[in-house]
């Protein structure tokens, strides 16, 4: 039975991953609470497993990778959920839907970086359009997004669950959000996008939207052209679905909660030549823990049907 160690399983993502792995045919190793910061104990656990999943802050993830490096040939494969290695070319980026070769890269890499939740939605929308020549790589892209508060960190989670929290708030208004570098790189962009994230007073769920003036695009595409490019890219995807044009004119952020799916929509007004691209997902599902389990199953050569989440 494949073996796994979650370093940092007490955090939000770690707990969610731990719960999901309990339902799978895996031998999951845990560290005693009083040993969580003991380098020797963590290194020993890493030496005993096939894959170590890191659910740690960026600096702590780098320290954990250094511990694994000390093991040499006994080091496990690593799946890192932090931002530390997402743009490192020596790591596989854990969005298997990125292109035709990315799933294979995840399957065979020793080190895989789990993607950001916002980033997955933005990249899923942008990359097929850039690859297809419908969106120039240097286009001034604007991305708006809202997430449930479970992705905002422990203090925010506690505030929302204890005091009610704000109904809605923008954040990262210094325009330096940690997901921007991976969106730019894996979205195929050569110009840094403008990203405006927000948090709503709901635990989980996410919408990522990208507005477009269609006549500003060199190919002057229609909404149908954009949808066709997305549909072609994800035609065989288990997790990503492109919604039909006649879909609802409202989207509720929590509709995909407790699933590992992502839905992509194109809303267009051809008379005005405006369009909005939207990705909907669960920030704890496909956005974090679900993506981690998807990547882990690929790394271990296990069928995705083993995952209990649809």
Instruction: Find the CATH number of the domain harbouring 302.
Output: 3.40.50.720
Average pLDDT across the chain, whole number: 94
pLDDT for residue 156: 82
Q: Walk across the sheet containing 77-80 and list its strands.
A: 27-29, 3-7, 51-54, 77-80, 111-113, 92-93
Range of the domain at 210: 117-283
Please provide the distance, in angstroms rounded to a whole number, between the alpha carbons at the two ends of the chain.
Answer: 23
Q: Are residues 97 and 141 in the same domain?
A: no
**DSSP 8-state assignment for residue 83:** S
What ranges in the chain are assigned the alpha helix state H?
12-21, 39-47, 58-69, 102-108, 117-131, 154-163, 180-186, 223-233, 290-300
Please list the active-site residues: 117
What is the Cβ-side half-sphere exposure of residue 102, based on CA atoms within 13 angstroms? 20
Which of 22-26, 150-154, 229-233, 277-281 shows the lowest mean pLDDT across its residues? 150-154
pLDDT average, residue stretch 72-76: 96
Pairing of strands 206-213, 142-148: antiparallel
> Are 148 and 202 spatial neighbours (Cβ–Cβ below 8 Å)?
yes
Is the pLDDT confidence value at 101 over 80? yes
Residues near 244 by beta carbon (within 8 Å), at least 6 away in sequence: none
Q: Are residues 139 and 233 in the same domain?
A: yes
pTM, two decimals, is 0.94
Domain count, the chain: 2
pLDDT band at 159 (very low <50, low <70, confident <90, very high): confident
pLDDT band at 309 (very low <50, low <70, confident <90, very high): low
Q: Are residues 90 and 234 in the same domain?
A: no
Q: Are residues 129 and 270 in the same domain?
A: yes
Q: Are residues 14 and 64 in the same domain?
A: yes
């Amino acid at each position: 039975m494949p073996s796994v160690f979650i370093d940092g399983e007490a955090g939000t993502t770690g707990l969610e991953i731990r719960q999901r792995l309990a339902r799978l045919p895996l031998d999951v190793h845990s560290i005693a609470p009083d040993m969580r910061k003991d380098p020797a104990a963590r290194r020993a656990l890493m030496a005993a497993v096939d894959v170590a999943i890191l659910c740690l802050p960026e600096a702590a993830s780098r320290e954990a990778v250094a511990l694994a490096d000390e093991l040499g040939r006994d080091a496990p494969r690593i799946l890192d959920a932090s931002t530390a290695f997402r743009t490192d070319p020596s790591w596989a980026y854990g969005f298997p839907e990125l292109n035709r070769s990315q799933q294979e890269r995840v399957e065979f890499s020793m080190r895989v970086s789990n993607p950001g939740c916002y980033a997955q939605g933005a990249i899923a929308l942008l990359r097929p359009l850039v690859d297809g020549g419908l969106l120039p790589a240097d286009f001034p892209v604007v991305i708006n997004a809202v997430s449930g508060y479970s992705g905002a960190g422990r203090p925010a989670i506690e505030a929302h669950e204890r005091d009610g929290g704000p109904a809605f708030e923008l954040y990262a208004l210094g325009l330096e959000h940690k997901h921007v570098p991976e969106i730019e790189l894996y979205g195929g962009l050569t110009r840094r996008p403008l990203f405006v994230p927000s948090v709503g007073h709901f635990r989980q769920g996410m919408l990522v939207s990208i507005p477009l003036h269609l006549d500003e695009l060199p190919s002057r595409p229609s909404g149908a052209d954009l949808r066709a490019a997305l549909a072609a890219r994800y035609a065989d995807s288990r997790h990503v679905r492109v919604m039909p044009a006649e879909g609802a004119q409202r989207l509720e952020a929590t509709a995909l909660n407790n699933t590992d799916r992502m839905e992509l929509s194109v809303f267009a007004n051809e008379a005005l030549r405006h369009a909005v691209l939207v990705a909907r997902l669960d920030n704890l599902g496909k956005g974090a823990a679900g993506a981690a389990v998807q990547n882990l199953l690929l790394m271990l050569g296990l069928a995705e049907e083993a995952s209990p989440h649809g």
